[in-house]
């Protein structure tokens, strides 16, 4: 399987957005300039990833981690980029922690709201029907059998009136 630079090309919209934030406002870029920056960034990312992969393998790791990337920056003599990259990594990690915390709070709030809604439903049921809801209450086996039309009744089955009459007429007689 051959891999070309086009296979790993960065999304054009992302490259354009990065260029617009990095350059002064009102700077015009030709299409070829955007393409050149995109290809250069792809080559740089592939090269740094390859070196970081070698660092990870040297440490018997299967996955490239942030320290592997920082070590790779030192190896390719770009350690001057490390402080800014560390700041960005720290900001990203902090952002992810905050996002996770917000999601947790949202889920807890939603669970609390759902619990209150169920209580409100139970109160409304009780008010309209005069019966308590069985939700959340333990049920006995007898309750289950009463409600289940498919439950097997171990008592003697009831017979139709005709069958009862025939049973009464045919009584065993003794011939002795």
Could you tell me the mean pLDDT of each successive run of 10 residues in the chain, 176 residues long? 70 91 90 92 92 93 92 93 93 94 88 69 58 52 50 49 51 51
Q: Determine the pLDDT at residue 1.
A: 47
Is pTM beyond 0.75? Reply is no
Q: How far is CA 71 from the centre of its chain?
A: 33
Helix axes 82-129, 66-75, angle to 10 degrees: 160
- Please state the φ and ψ torsions of residue 128, each to the nearest 5 degrees: -85, -35
Among the listed residues 60, 83, 57, the one whose alpha carbon sits nearest the alpha carbon of residue 70: 83
Q: Determine the pLDDT at residue 42.
A: 92
């Amino acid at each position: 399987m051959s891999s070309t630079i086009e296979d790993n090309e960065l999304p054009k919209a992302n490259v354009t957005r990065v260029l617009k934030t990095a350059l002064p406002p009102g700077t015009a870029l030709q299409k070829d300039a955007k393409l050149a920056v995109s290809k250069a960034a792809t080559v740089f990312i592939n090269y740094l990833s390859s070196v970081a992969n070698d660092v990870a393998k040297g440490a018997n790791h299967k996955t490239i981690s942030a320290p592997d990337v920082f070590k790779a920056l030192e190896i390719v003599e770009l350690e001057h980029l490390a402080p800014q990259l560390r700041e960005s990594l720290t900001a990203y990690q902090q952002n992810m922690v905050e996002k996770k915390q917000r999601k947790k709070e949202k889920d807890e709030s939603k669970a609390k709201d759902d619990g209150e809604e169920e209580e409100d439903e139970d109160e409304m049921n009780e008010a309209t029907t005069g019966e308590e809801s069985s939700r959340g209450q333990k049920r006995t086996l007898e309750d289950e059998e009463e409600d289940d039309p498919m439950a097997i009744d171990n008592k003697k089955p009831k017979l139709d009136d005709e069958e009862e009459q025939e049973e009464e007429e045919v009584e065993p007689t003794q011939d002795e």
